[in-house]
Amino acid sequence: MVKLLDFWAPWCFPCKTMTPIIEELKKELDGKVEVEEINVDENQDKASKYGVMSIPTYIVLKDGKEAGRKIGVTSKEDLLNMINL
């Protein structure tokens, strides 16, 4: 199973910029990739577990292991490439 972790916060402007891209990915990858949106203000333990120091951060997990990571505003294509590693 492939999972995309999206670490964000409601006050983060770059995170807001990424929202439409994440929504598109959720629709396109429905049933293939699980997208988990993690509000770092509400889930500090999870952010700490994955070593998230800045947001937005995107982590791809394959079979529970980290397979890729992007930090900051990134393109839909870059996220898809990372998911398809």
CB within 8 Å of 74: residues ≥ 6 apart: 18, 58
Computed from CA positions of residues 30, 62, 21, 48, in that sequence, does the dihedral angle turn out positive or negative?
positive
Tens of pLDDT along 19-37? 999 999 999 999 999 999 9
**Domain ranges within the chain, ordered by starting residue:** 2-83
Please confirm, yes or no, whether 73 is among the known catalytic residues: no
Given the residues 4, 5, 7, 15, the one annotated as active site? 15
With CA atoms as reference, report the closest residue to 6 among 77, 71, 65, 82.
71
Indicate the pTM of the whole model. Answer: 0.95
Candidate list 2, 3, 9, 12, residue with the active-site label: 12
12 is a catalytic site residue: yes
**CATH 3.40.30.10 assigned to 2-83:** yes
Strand 65-71, strand 57-62: pairing:
antiparallel
What is residue 43's three-state secondary structure?
Answer: coil
Helices 76-83, 13-28: axis angle to 10 degrees equals 50
Mean pLDDT throughout 32-59? 97
